[in-house]
Structure 1
Amino acid sequence: MADGELPDNPARPVAVDVAGWPPSLADFAEPARSAVPPEVWDFINGGSGTETTLTANRTALDRVAVLPRVLTGVDRPRTEASLLDRPQAMPVAVAPMAYQRLVHPDGEPALAAAAGAAGVPYVASTLSSTPIEEVAAAGDQVWFQLYWLRDRGMVADLLDRAQAAGCSALMVTVDVPVLGRRLRDVRNGFALPPHVTTANLPGGRDDLAHQGTPGVSAVPSGAVFAPALGWADLEWLRGRTPLPLLVKGVLDPRDAVRAAEIGVDAVVVSNHGGRQLDGAPATATVLPEVVAAVGNGCEVLLDSGVRGGVDVLRALALGAAGVLVGRPMLWALAAGGRAGAEAALALLAAELRDALALTGCADPAEARHLRTMTGS
């Protein structure tokens, strides 16, 4: 699709009445905090180490100022865009997040259904608490996120299951050679409750995640992750699936270029929401370098720290094709199940529409031509 060209058949979101819900996506945090146990709140919101990178993600986005254009004659901006050459209601996907039944009994199917109603992709995690087949049946555009496992046979099985379930893209996470040390979970001795399991893995593979020990985090145990994932594995994966392939967890432009050369369809600039290397750069800081490095080699998406429509606009102005939104969608799920998630996505669309109007942009493609400034 040419730059500035809109999708021929954009996804049509279901109309949602947001009356009675928080006034912005970020405002779902407080009702969510009241809805879950303190240790679950720490698990979904905490970062690694001293949470320097977690904090930096927000700070960096807040430092991005967008220069509005005026007298553009724009009346009613459109939020529709294209991701992976498929029309979307807005340039947003719901990020992969583990164990969603921790925050609401309806878990992943509810959030997948909300994303489908909003006309945006939902990314189902390997560490989902609901099998991929049920998640894909509940959603519309469901992408599958893959953690690389020590057993390649299990990897192949997950790929086959995702494709058979109708997943429309594959996202492999590459920034977890080992698990970041998440001190909130360590202090809480956090473990999964009995009703929450790693539903996509064979029985017994997540037993350690249920064994709470004071001063030790059991979740996720990491026992099945392969620490030595390499470029040859990514090449194998590219040859193994016909689905569009995204690589999540890229920060260095050199890695983005190599991924594009292998034939990935998109790289996701992500520091795992500040949950892996504490001291990694904020994603908004490195995004422009990654975009410049890959050129037209593949799409670039931004993850980590997105909290509203202005953040989507900032990412577009910095060169991204779109964003992944994570924690706020867990907040909305915790606060109100599927209805809460639908309201949150409707608010995000409204915030993006306002941001486009205020910068004189008719659509997200025009927002990618806005200039930005970075300051205090």
Structure 2
Amino acid sequence: MENFARLLKESWTLVEEDRERLSGHFYARLFLLDPELRKLFPVAMTGQGDRILEAIVTATQTVGDPESFDEYLRALGRDHRKYHVDAAHYETMGVALLDALRSTAGDGWNLEYDQAWRDAYAGICEKMLAGAAADGNPPFWHAEVLTHERYGPDTAVLTVRALQSPLVWQAGQYVSVEAPRHLPRVWRTYSVANAPNDDNVLEFHIRTPAGAGWLSGALVRRTKPGDLLRLAAPMGSMTLDRSSPRDILCVAGGVGLAPIKALVEELATVNRTRWVHVFYGARHREELYGLAGLAELVAAHPWLSVTPACSADPDFDGELGDISDVVSRYGPWTAHDCYVSGSARMVRSTLRVLAEDEVPPDTIRYDTFGNL
């Protein structure tokens, strides 16, 4: 296993700086091998390759941890049911992937790398297909938009109701969303912002800053109550450890509040002894769109505290500075279970603060919007 993991990671260094070329070659070869596969992908392919490559990177980086590797791939297989892929499609994708890796790596590629990727891909397919076969749920759920509330020009909070069999998720997880009326076959993951409930209702917090994807823009600016969306199977492991007796630190930046809010709502149903500290940051006061809702939770639950902060609003009457710096002022956090959610930069900074505080890594879970 150690040599296998070494070959995968070592060979990945030959192509990781040229992902755009790798992605382009992969799709060109894929659609040449089976033109019918093109119908499964969106008209505009921008960004699609990044998601495929992210799955590959995650697989190669977790291969040394068989348990998490197994669950990740089974969940990925369940998620890919929304694309209507089958065993034959996986085989074609494998041929295209190996061809793209060889071409992009060039002279640095060798037979050992080739065999390692063949074996890895075979294992990946086996577990993904097993995860898909074991899932008795539909490939995706149709969901009706119930409410849609704008917060400024680029943020919206919407609630939807899944219309088929119950959609079962855990607080802290995310689902893939498609808006077929606006952007068919374009999927993007969003964290669910509320704890599971009997009404089959999910809440999403969407932000579409400059340069954000088309789907976020459509969900913020063009979606309205009554529209139909599609939701795929829940994924993600930033979930609550109910067996832990430790107090809890939650750090949220921007719409990273979504999974944190869901975790707090779940705690409201089970918590009696654990103190929960939420740090919620943004650049400006108006971007703290969820502050009023958090205040209601604080009023109802004496074990909960919320500390808001703004990094670029000197008139803000709360904490000033990056949320990671604010968290460091209130430490130490070594006796807490820690949950971190937000932009890549914010998560990276907060993880650095927790590492400097010597917080055990196995007590930290995080969700990032973008690459670390």
User: Considering the TM-score relative to the shorter chain, is it more than 0.5?
Assistant: no
Relative to its length, the structure with more strand (as a share) is: 2
Please give the TM-score of this superposition, normalised by the length of structure 1.
0.29
Larger of the two Rg values belongs to structure: 2
Which structure has the higher relative contact order (CA within 8 Å, separation 6+)? 1
Relative to its length, the structure with more helix (as a share) is: 2
Please give the TM-score of this superposition, normalised by the length of structure 2.
0.30
